[in-house]
Structure 1
Amino acid sequence: MSNSTAAAVLTTPDLDEALRVVRTLLGVTDLTRAEVDFEARIRSREGLAEVLRVLPGLHWWAREGTEARSAENGDDPSECLPVSVHDWCHPLELAEPFIRALRPQDAAAVRWDLDEWPEVPEAGLESISQKYAYLTLSVHSRDLYQYEPSADHTVHVHVRGEHDLDRVHWLAERVGGRFDGRTELAPL
């Protein structure tokens, strides 16, 4: 297990703008072995129904009092709202349909696991291995874990740590964003 530092490079109420930024950032790296992970707190029946269309084998769980309910138990998620989702290792093309399935009361972190952040010699940046190369879009939340619900969406770039913030600034410049110093530790 390793920890990355997730730095917010853009917060916007415009989901299309957030997705444009994500696509641009994905364009600066090799996506050959990349995959996408979903973590969410789904509260709406409509959002759940749409997410289940995108991911019919959705991994979810909920707790009612002391009773745990889950996909593994064969429970009906629509009777267990809100449900928590941790569904990993999916193809990249499922990211946007999942994001668009969410409703305003549903919050999620969609994380792209990248092969690496590439070397950028003109900026003095060496490549960063897949161990620290991630990109996260927090949907209807400003943080990675949906603790801070919001009408906004935040794009986070993950790097090795506080000593690698030059890369954060370089990536933010690629998308017209700005690193304002907001970071979170991201245990992976």
Structure 2
Amino acid sequence: MRTLLGMADAGQAEVDFEAVIRSPDVLAQVRHVLPDLEWWASAGKEHGSSEAGDNPADCLPIRVFDWCRPLDRAEPFIAALGPDPAAVRWDLDGWPAVPEAGLEAISQKYAYLTLTVNSRDLYQDEPSQDHTVHVHVRNRNGDQVARVHWLADQVGGRFTGRVELAPL
């Protein structure tokens, strides 16, 4: 992730967090990193939420959301999760042009990286023992696939997933 982030324009970037927290220990660690996080009971807001002033430890499992945080919160958040699933999304300022690969610069609207922790998908519905990197780019003339392959090459990896179109 650090290498990918280093290739992006990230001067004004922010990071967003979503997670499903199941244990009191993980909850305590996450609240240490993000003390004012928003949450609600996985069974629904009527079973407890930060909005209602409930104690999250009494409502486990809970879904947590925290948006627009500084980049330095990402690694402590990931370390706090233990086995619980999460998505950490870096909202980047853009992807630079790569003339030798025929890639134009991409603006902030189309530049994200998401690390799903202990999950394969963006919504924490497909548990996993490892993490998955999702690259979000603009779909223009098929260049999204070229950029994903180029980024994978830069980190010594390979594209193994699938291209999905998502409305923003």
Specify the TM-score bucket, using the shorter chain as the normaliser.
Answer: over 0.9
Letter of the aligned partner of 1:166 in structure 2? A
SS at match of 1:179: coil
Ranked by relative contact order (alpha carbons within 8 Å, sequence separation 6 or more), the top structure is 1
SS at match of 1:85: strand
Match of 2:80 in 1: 101
Q: Do structure 1's residue 114 and structure 2's residue 92 form an aligned pair?
A: yes
Q: Encode CA deviations 1:111-168: one digit per residue, 9 max, x unaligned.
A: 0000001100011000111111000100000111111011110011111138221000
Match of 2:154 in 1: 174
Match of 2:61 in 1: 82
Match of 1:133 in 2: 111
**Residues 184 and 86 from structure 1, CA distance in 2 versus in 1: closer, same or farther, beyond 3 angstroms?**
farther
TM-score (norm 1): 0.83
SS at match of 1:146: coil
**Residues 27 and 65 from structure 1, CA distance in 2 versus in 1: closer, same or farther, beyond 3 angstroms?**
closer
Greater Cα offset, 57-66 or 125-134: 57-66
Report the CA distance between 1:181 and its aligned residue: 3.8
Letter of the aligned partner of 1:125 in structure 2? L
Aligned mate of 1:153, from 112, 121, 131: 131
Q: Do structure 1's residue 34 and structure 2's residue 10 form an aligned pair?
A: no
Q: How many correspondences in the alignment?
A: 166
In the alignment, the residues of structure 2 paired with residue 92 and residue 71 of structure 1 have an alpha-carbon distance, to the nearest angstrom, of 24
Contact kept in structure 2, 1:46 and 1:103, CA below 8 Å: no
In the alignment, the residues of structure 2 paired with residue 32 and residue 159 of structure 1 have an alpha-carbon distance, to the nearest angstrom, of 18
Report the CA distance between 1:184 and its aligned residue: 3.8
Amino-acid identity (%): 69
Greater Cα offset, 67-76 or 170-179: 67-76
Q: Encode CA deviations 1:67-116: one digit per residue, 9 max, x unaligned.
A: 24111111010111111012100000000000000011x10000000000
In the alignment, the residues of structure 2 paired with residue 167 and residue 61 of structure 1 have an alpha-carbon distance, to the nearest angstrom, of 37
TM-score (norm 2): 0.93
Match of 1:56 in 2: 35
